[in-house]
């Protein structure tokens, strides 16, 4: 889930977006009142902040890509090809060339979309949109290149063209749908958001833009806490049962030790030490096996294929391989919690053993 959220931030939303207050995202509105009238100025203002890695205008247009035999509904994205925000797309170029800012004829499409439409780099295709005046419009473009981000749902639904051409094609003038902002550190989101204020402009953070992800991750975190609690409880019961069995099997031994002068406190400490040893051994073995498993899942992962990843659609920016992430804080907290629970589970067997009378123990 964390990887999907990171994919969504780097490809779709950025850490922050500046939009006109009335912008209708679900409609990909191109009306003047819903667009930013001064995108270059806003991008420069954001880019001047030291916490900002990239800030660039973007224009989103709903469209249909047509070939002789096939067609596909998608999102046309007008971008500044020179912006570092699109480095993941540029580095994922698998055929053809990258766009230039003055390109008036070229577009980039995903490799998966190209495969489904049976087209390749260099071919001409038709792109139909509804422009800012609400009128259907159509243009013919050359597929300048193909990209692959590893996110099938994205590669099948996005077409890139130079921002100037997108604005001319859609008839929006110099306006833009949003300013996308990428930060050097996600922790600076609120600080940067507070610094970016302008009349009629709404600032949206990555949490606002990825509400589904955030809510799902919170739900998953709660589930994992419950699951961890159940596992630790099972471990505690097993440890307590093991130590109680040890007490019952060694009653005569404890009677002899008591008769030889061992105090109840010493017997209690002996069983607590056994419990701590069992817990520590379990934590060490579990840590070794767990770290090995996480290392494998983090590097190799679990392949799920293009189709399964595409099924996730726009809700999850899921790649073709699911990978694990490791959190030292969670690892340490669970290890310490396990040891504490084991020690608590050892208290009753230790208390029971310490209270045995030597005569009764020897008789048993």
Checking if the pLDDT of 129 tops 90, the result is yes
Checking if the pLDDT of 175 tops 90, the result is yes
State mean pLDDT over 270-295.
84
Across the strands, what pairs with 126? 66, 140
Higher confidence at residue 3 or residue 196? 196
**Which three-class secondary structure state does DSSP give residue 262?**
coil
Provide the CB-side half-sphere exposure for 74 (13 A, CA): 27
- Whether the CB-CB separation of 88 and 10 falls below 8 Å is answered with yes
Q: What is the reported pLDDT for 2?
A: 66
pLDDT band at 357 (very low <50, low <70, confident <90, very high): low
- Whether the CB-CB separation of 51 and 34 falls below 8 Å is answered with no
Beta-carbon contacts of 127 under 8 Å, excluding residues fewer than 6 positions away, are: 63, 64, 65, 66, 76, 107, 138, 139, 140, 141, 159
Q: What is the reported pLDDT for 30?
A: 93
Higher confidence at residue 320 or residue 91? 91
How do residues 20-38 score in pLDDT, each as one tens digit? 999 987 778 999 999 999 9
pLDDT band at 360 (very low <50, low <70, confident <90, very high): low
Poorest-confidence range of 16-30, 235-249, 267-281? 235-249
- Whether the CB-CB separation of 46 and 37 falls below 8 Å is answered with no
Checking if the pLDDT of 107 tops 70, the result is yes
Checking if the pLDDT of 314 tops 70, the result is no
Q: What is the reported pLDDT for 173?
A: 93
Cα 18 to the center of its chain, rounded Å = 22
**CA separation for the pair 19, 38 (Å, rounded):** 11
**Which three-class secondary structure state does DSSP give residue 30?**
coil
Instruction: Express the helix, strand and coil content of the chain in percent, nearest 5 each.
Output: 55, 20, 25
Checking if the pLDDT of 43 tops 80, the result is yes
Q: What is the reported pLDDT for 312?
A: 53
Q: What is the reported pLDDT for 119?
A: 94
pLDDT band at 48 (very low <50, low <70, confident <90, very high): very high
Q: What is the DSSP string of 197-249?
A: --TTEEEEEHHHHTHHHHHHHHHHHHHHHHHHHHHHHHHHHHHHHHHHHHHHH
Checking if the pLDDT of 217 tops 60, the result is yes
CA quadruple 129, 134, 136, 141: dihedral, nearest 10: -30
Cα 174 to the center of its chain, rounded Å = 34
How do residues 197-211 score in pLDDT, each as one tens digit? 888 999 999 989 888
Strand (E) positions, 101-218?
Answer: 106-110, 124-130, 136-147, 158-162, 178-183, 201-205
How do residues 315-327 score in pLDDT, each as one tens digit? 555 556 677 777 7
**CA separation for the pair 251, 271 (Å, rounded):** 13
């Amino acid at each position: 889930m964390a990887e999907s959220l990171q994919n969504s931030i780097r490809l779709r939303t950025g850490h922050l977006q500046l939009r006109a207050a009335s912008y209708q995202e679900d409609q990909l509105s191109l009306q003047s009142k819903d667009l930013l009238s001064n995108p270059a100025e806003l991008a420069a203002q954001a880019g001047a902040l030291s916490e900002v890695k990239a800030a660039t205008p973007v224009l989103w247009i709903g469209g249909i890509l047509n070939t002789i035999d096939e067609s596909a509904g998608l999102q046309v994205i007008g971008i500044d090809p020179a912006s570092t925000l699109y480095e993941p797309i540029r580095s994922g170029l698998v055929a053809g060339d990258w766009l230039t800012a003055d390109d008036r004829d070229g577009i980039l499409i995903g490799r998966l979309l190209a495969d489904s439409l049976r087209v390749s780099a260099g071919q001409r295709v038709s792109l139909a949109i509804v422009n800012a005046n609400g009128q259907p419009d159509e243009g013919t473009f050359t597929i300048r290149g193909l990209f692959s981000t590893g996110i099938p749902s994205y590669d099948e639904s996005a077409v890139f063209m130079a921002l100037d051409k997108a604005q001319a094609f859609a008839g929006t003038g110099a306006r833009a749908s949003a300013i996308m902002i990428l930060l050097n550190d996600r922790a600076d989101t609120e600080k940067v958001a507070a610094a970016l204020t302008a009349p009629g402009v709404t600032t949206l953070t990555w949490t606002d833009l990825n509400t589904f992800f955030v809510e799902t991750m919170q739900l998953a975190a709660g589930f994992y806490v419950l699951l961890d609690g159940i596992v630790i409880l099972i471990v505690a019961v097993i440890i307590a049962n093991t130590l109680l069995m040890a007490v019952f099997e060694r009653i005569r031994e404890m009677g002899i030790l008591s008769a030889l002068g061992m105090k109840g406190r010493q017997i209690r400490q002996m069983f607590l030490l056994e419990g701590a040893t069992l817990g520590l051994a379990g934590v060490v073995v579990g840590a070794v096996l767990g770290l090995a498993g996480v290392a494998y899942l983090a590097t190799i992962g679990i392949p799920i294929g293009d189709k399964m990843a595409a099924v996730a659609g726009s809700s999850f920016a899921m790649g073709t391989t699911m990978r694990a992430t490791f959190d030292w804080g969670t690892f340490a907290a669970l290890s310490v919690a396990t040891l504490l629970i084991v020690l608590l589970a050892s208290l009753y067997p230790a208390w029971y053993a310490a209270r045995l009378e030597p005569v009764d123990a020897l008789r048993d």
